Structure 1
């Protein structure tokens, strides 16, 4: 894959112009351009600049290449140069910047603007990430002043936290709003600004009321509402993680449900239902391909999944759009990493198990038997001064049992006999190397009615896992092939230690 990665890197750099911005090329047909009643002019889309600085930062982290840093520094300087500045509120007066400047003098003069979340709200997180890596002051200033604009001037979020659904705000487009909340949360958490975290929490709580409990999210608040994007889900996961780390640990439960369900279900693993060809006779170079599409797509994430199907049939809203988008593919991979990297964390000597998923760490190895059994095994790899584990809210705390084995010594406790933190984490006290701790609790099977905009679904759960949904999907049905066993099926794979980590 190194040759492919190198191709992507070369392609990314090829979009830059002398002014330091990344410009779009014309890939549209003449029919599409005429339908838009406009002319395509090569320009730097403000939507794209977020992804550009994000990619350059990741590239710099991986290689330390000074040429990449120079390009990123120039990029941040360009964004700062073109931003309109009103005291602490910075913004862009258009969605794109051209080689001759902003496309409309009148728009700048009369202080008009475009959807703030899409154009600069989502830039906050990537800009701040670049600042943290390099100390670039332009990046910090942009992040700080875009934050002030979004919260106090933009009108993106209503006073009750809901999304402004007006046309000028992209109909309350969920992807860009949730991405903005994730950016704000990241900036607020790292700068210890509790006012930003409070702002994010209020809007996030409202947004969750528009989603299903298993992670399906609306596209917007009008005709795009039925088009869930994996990008939105991953930003919701990211925001939930930061809120949980900011003193609201109840959000770990939401994060785990989203990870266990619509994120993992939205990854394409079975491809025998997809039609393709074993030759390139029908391919249109740089536009369309049929060649071994199924195998090439295996592992991709859905672009617009339905609650019950990888494919959105398009009967409601704008109609069928697309099944896979490369932005969602990248986001889905990032979502898996976000979940995996936060299963267990450590703060000031306190090791906290946040997500009840399998993971091997230098502190301990976690073996989760869920959803088949309510059982978590912890093999302690080194002495831990204080160990906590999150218990799902659907578990009666008195029904939790803790079994500890250290050599010949065995002890038993219940959830009533140990301390808790915020009714979320159960305290296990200190743990010593070589000790085994087993936590058990009853699994809960329940049914809920989930609303995906105007459509309703009957959902059966086992713990935090959806195991059946009605009505069922049509093309690539989700959830209904999941199996729950009385005894957990065990797969044994060798783990290899490398560079401080454990790998299969």
Structure 2
């Protein structure tokens, strides 16, 4: 059994850079460079399935959010390829449509609407509008919003007969799909589009979708039920984070409380203490096959709740980042066996190289969930859309490590970071936590919940006042390091989800050992 050699618990920026590299290598050369959707590394390694209606939005949102957060120098040819695929999906109607079946050389017409892809379509148009000032993307976004108001909003469902009569669109039967697995997913990118452009119809549509979501799904008791939400957990978590974005955007305290009740309540049927989250909620689940996108949504929601005034959610976000999302990235690819490829199929070329930096369907302890080979999905997958979602969430976290406002400077998570106003050296990568204030203002450093507020020493400044979970120094010296000396305690915990339990040993908020049940490709040393 292999323990992976390159496991990251400390560097958000490096994870983002690797993820962007994976998204830059995701094109299907056999199908006009439309990005792949599926990918796996065992039992056989390959990439598969061009997805013009889904993939461009995931990847453009992730890459351009990363560029905005870190100032990355992205390859513009890569962005153009993703944009071309996005515009291709909108070429027959102002909706993110997909060709039916599999195709080569860019052949076929995208005519099928999968409601699930509305979110991804709006993410593509938002990202191109916000970060590339694309007038074409904005025009399509406006037309798409108009179409939804015309064909969906009046009855809160599609007027299928009229839609298929008036347009080339063919609506795919969603089967047991719910509103949460369809239009509700689009709330988040609509909010982002409004924030980037001030386009009021985007906010109006987001509000209509929100009203149905809170009336029928995110109930006042904060509960989750598969029968109500549907079994696709990423749809539930992205709807949750979308509602949090809308609440923050509009200052809606009631909506934020509804999000908080779900986060504190029903979400625990879908996650454990380090933010691992099951891919499909249907009982019984045959193995602990998670999904990194869900984890990213949980982090984004926690960051919003933290900004809203609940600092304990920053603690949850940091623990999730260090103990699960960062470690679960595909970095060590030495175990991947390149497939035979006598027909020179593009999806079988340089699989390990192309997938390095991706995210997938991990267990808390490794890439191979216990029971995966006996499950209904006997494979270890790193679907390409998941890297887009994970990188988008990491970009949100990168921007939230520190902040400055009228009350001063805030260190909300203990990662290495530097801005124009602050520089932070993390206690996980340096002998102690150290902060350099570059501009005048009070300094607020969030204290982890495992740190007794009286059990640390401060060097280089007056001893702080403890206030609402923060150590506050009202007049820190400018341009000098302030040291916060404390131990990162070793402590043990049990990760629980439904009827399962996994023992873990942590150093502060990072895992140093965990039960792995004899599985392969593990992130951490075994607990015993």
Q: What is the TM-score with the length of structure 1 in the denominator?
A: 0.81
- The range that moved more, 248-257 or 223-232, is 223-232
Please, which of 9, 19, 22 is the counterpart of residue 96 of structure 2? 22
1:281 Cα deviation from its structure 2 partner: 2.0
1:438 Cα deviation from its structure 2 partner: 0.3
1:143 Cα deviation from its structure 2 partner: 0.6
Q: Counterpart in 1 of 2:87? A: 13
Q: Counterpart in 2 of 1:33? A: none
In the TM superposition, 1:22-171 aligns within 5 A as 22-27=96-101, 42-85=111-154, 90-92=156-158, 98=164, 114-152=177-215, 154=216, 156-166=217-227, 169-171=229-231
1:121 Cα deviation from its structure 2 partner: 1.6
Please, which of 385, 393, 399 is the counterpart of residue 327 of structure 1? 385
Q: Counterpart in 2 of 1:189? A: 248
Q: Counterpart in 2 of 1:273? A: 335
In the TM superposition, 1:412-431 aligns within 5 A as 413=463, 418-422=464-468, 424-431=469-476
1:376 aligns with 2:439: no
1:64 Cα deviation from its structure 2 partner: 1.2
Deviations 1:395-437 (A, max 9, x none): 1111021111xxxxxx563xxxx32232x11111122322220
1:468 Cα deviation from its structure 2 partner: 0.6
Q: Counterpart in 1 of 2:235? A: 176
Secondary structure of the 1:122 match is helix
In the TM superposition, 1:69-468 aligns within 5 A as 69-85=138-154, 90-92=156-158, 98=164, 114-152=177-215, 154=216, 156-166=217-227, 169-171=229-231, 173-210=232-269, 211-223=271-283, 225=285, 226-276=288-338, 280-284=341-345, 289-302=347-360, 304-312=361-369, 313-315=371-373, 318-370=376-428, 375-383=432-440, 385-404=441-460, 413=463, 418-422=464-468, 424-468=469-513
CA distance in 2 between partners of 1:115 and 1:355 (Å): 36
CA distance in 2 between partners of 1:300 and 1:64 (Å): 28
Question: Which blocks of at least 5 consecutive residues in structure 1 are unaligned?
Answer: 30-39, 405-410, 483-504
CA distance in 2 between partners of 1:7 and 1:99 (Å): 32
CA contact (8 A) 1:93 1:114 kept: no
CA contact (8 A) 1:265 1:478 kept: yes
- Give the structure with higher Rg (CA): 1
Which structure is richer in relative contact order (CA contacts within 8 A, separation 6 or more)? 2
CA distance in 2 between partners of 1:169 and 1:251 (Å): 24
* Residues 456, 97 of structure 1: alpha-carbon distance in 2 compared, 3 angstrom cutoff: farther
CA distance in 1 between partners of 2:472 and 2:315 (Å): 17
Question: Which blocks of at least 5 consecutive residues in structure 2 are unaligned?
Answer: 1-74, 104-108
CA distance in 2 between partners of 1:479 and 1:49 (Å): 38
Deviations 1:231-287 (A, max 9, x none): 10100000001111112111000000111121111111111100015x8424445xx
Superposed CA RMSD = 2.8
Secondary structure of the 1:427 match is strand
CA contact (8 A) 1:215 1:262 kept: yes
1:47 Cα deviation from its structure 2 partner: 1.2
